[in-house]
Amino acid sequence: MRLGELKPPSGAHKEGKRKGQGPGSGNGKTGGRGHKGQKARSGAKRGGRIGFEGGQMPLHRRLPKIGFSNHPFKTTYRVVNVGAIEGSGMEGEVGPDELVKAGLIGRSRLPVKVLGEGEITRQVTVRAHAFSAKATEKITQAGGQVQKIS
């Protein structure tokens, strides 16, 4: 069997309904849209956009804006697993700059967090902004050190 010989099983593919093909089709003349009105017209705004209330001020604009979002203040980390540090073959002192050179993270302008997925056997001194408890445990068990960058 070749890719060009593939066909859907019988009954799986149904022909689309041909609307507006004369009065005998059952959907002739207006094509199943009824007579006049906004929804009978062509164009993208046929049914109005989400939340559109026929020109009345929409509910989401009538209600007062309340609450607080912490989004502008959240800390976003570049994440590295201890298994990735092991796999890259790095030794000695490992910091954000070394991680960028190894291709484990992008630019080092964001803070780096080390997570504990994978295994590590090398004695490395890892410098990062944050560590998970599992990562700290695995690095120290391998004889390495953990240094927090503030």
C-beta of residue 120 within 8 angstroms of C-beta of residue 87:
no
Check residue 86 and give its pLDDT.
Answer: 93
Q: Tell which CATH architecture fits domain 73-148.
A: Ribosomal Protein L15; Chain: K; domain 2 (3.100)
Strand order in the sheet with 124-128: 92-94, 124-128, 145-148
Q: Is the pLDDT of residue 46 over 70?
A: no
| Averaged pLDDT, 111-126 | 95
Strand order in the sheet with 130-131: 78-81, 112-115, 130-131
| Averaged pLDDT, 58-67 | 92
Check residue 64 and give its pLDDT.
Answer: 93
d(CA 46, CA 114): 52
C-beta of residue 25 within 8 angstroms of C-beta of residue 32:
no
Check residue 17 and give its pLDDT.
Answer: 86
Model confidence pTM above 0.75: no
Q: Is 24 or 130 the better-scoring residue by pLDDT?
A: 130
The domain ranges of the chain are 73-148
Q: Is the pLDDT of residue 136 over 90?
A: yes
Q: What is the DSSP letter of 89?
A: T
